Amino acid sequence: MKKNPHFISHLAHVEIFSTKLEESAVFFKDVVGLEESYRDENSIYLRAWGEYYHHSLKITKGDKPGLGHIGWRADSEEALKEAVKYLESTKFGIGWIEGDVGHGPAYRFKSPDGHLEEIFWQVDRCEIPEEKRSKWKNRPQKNHGRGISPRRIDHITLHSNDVKKDREFYQSLGFRYNEGIYLDANDPESLEIGAWLSVTNLSHDIAFLKGNDNTPGGFNHICYAVESREEVLLAADYIVESGYELEFGGPTRHALAEGFFFYVIEPGGNRFELYAGAHLIFSPDFGPIRWNVKENPNDAWGRVMPWEKDGKMIDDTSKVGLIK
């Protein structure tokens, strides 16, 4: 096995578009329990109590919900340069931007399916007012316990019209290919229906699900993590008591990637996932675990994902195909 590039250290932030910016802000601040770091006319910047950077979520006014961009932190300043050099050698590189509130210069690129992304090194640490500071030096602030109160961003899940192409592109950036769903897992040429990849020890930092409407850059959900499954269960009640509906009957466990989770649609139209208990992956040659779509790998206990409603599957044998 050749040496893997280590361009990227982890998922730093995600920008999503909301059709109802203020309602989205209320959901993410009061129900989810994120902290507002900054806001301007078009965007609100948020972070979880356990995060060190200025923000992990940027919500921007939009005509429809979906992905704005994804921000990856480089592994070092030197790694950023190497990453840019590599990206410029592909057709996916776009170029440098000056940065944004909370971080410095970023090199932008597009995934094969058209998701806008950036990689950067210089980042602003969040400024924590005295009264919110933790007693423990290794926590950026107190866990305030407001709302669900996740500790950190976990991952992002996208749609792709060609999962294989996106998966291979991310592997070239140093992501490990941990698990995948295939129409027929025994057929090496089988259509790929899902792919789970990571640069960290998480079960995935990014995942792709097969879209089938030819729209580029599709978005499935953003996920934040709490530290116990008990907190996911408490949060499920809290979501319902706050007036929202859990998708497809509330918490369950993914077989693939193992997270215990639920989904809820935030007021701006985006799917939000809460997560705990996913396994960690340490072995550099762990995957790929090849699942057959008929095995229903998205659920360990026999349920089907919400995007399978109304029979809108990519074909009759699929359990994971998507429709937007």
Residues 44-73 that bind a second copy (CB under 8 A): 50, 52-53, 73
> Is the CB of 22 or the CB of 240 nearer to a second copy?
240
Burial class of residue 228 (count of CB atoms within 10 Å of its CB; 0-12, 13-18, 19+): exposed
* 21 versus 222: smaller Cβ distance to a second copy: 222
Give the sign of the dihedral formed by CA 169, CA 4, CA 289, CA 158. Answer: negative
User: How far apart are the C-alpha atoms of 100 and 296, rounded to whole Å?
Assistant: 40
Q: Which of 150, 250, 259, 267 binds a second copy (CB under 8 A)?
A: 250
Distance between terminal CA atoms of the chain?
A: 38
Candidates 138, 310, 311, 316: give the one binding a second copy (CB under 8 A): 138
**Shortest Å distance, C-beta 240 to a second copy:** 6
By CB under 8 A, the residues from 86 to 125 that bind a second copy are 121
Three-state DSSP at 260 gives strand
Shortest Cβ distance from residue 106 to a second copy (Å)? 16
> Cβ of residue 43: shortest distance to a second copy, in angstroms?
23
307 sits in the region (left: phi over 0; alpha: psi -120 to 50; else beta) called alpha
Distance of alpha carbon 184 from alpha carbon 317, whole angstroms: 10
Amino acid, res. 110 = K
Pick 62 or 147: Cβ nearer a second copy? 147
- Residues 215-244: x/- map of binding to a second copy (CB under 8 A)? ------------xxxxx-xx-xxx-xx---
Beta carbon of residue 249, minimum distance to a second copy (angstroms, whole number) = 4
Q: Which is nearer to a second copy, 59 or 202 (CB)?
A: 202
**Per CB under 8 A, which of residues 158..197 are in contact with a second copy?**
179
> Binders of a second copy: how many residues, by CB under 8 A?
77
Task: Tell the smallest beta-carbon distance from residue 235 to a second copy (Å).
Answer: 9
Where helices occur in 119-225 by DSSP H, the ranges are 163-172
Contact residue for a second copy among 155, 253, 271, 319 (CB under 8 A): 253
Structure tokens given for 23? 């309602």
Nearer to a second copy, 200 or 212 (CB): 200
Question: Can you tell me the distance from the alpha carbon of 272 to that of 17, in angstroms, rounded to the nearest whole number?
Answer: 13
Q: Indicate left, alpha or beta for 232 from its phi (over 0: left) and psi (-120 to 50: alpha).
A: alpha
* Nearer of residues 7 and 208 to a second copy, judged by Cβ: 7
Angstrom distance (rounded) from CA 277 to CA 146: 21
Q: Does 10 bind a second copy (CB under 8 A)?
A: yes
CA torsion through residues 72, 255, 17, 164, sign: positive
Amino acid symbol at 145:
G
Q: Which range touches a second copy (CB under 8 A), out of 1-9, 40-48, 88-96, 207-215?
A: 1-9
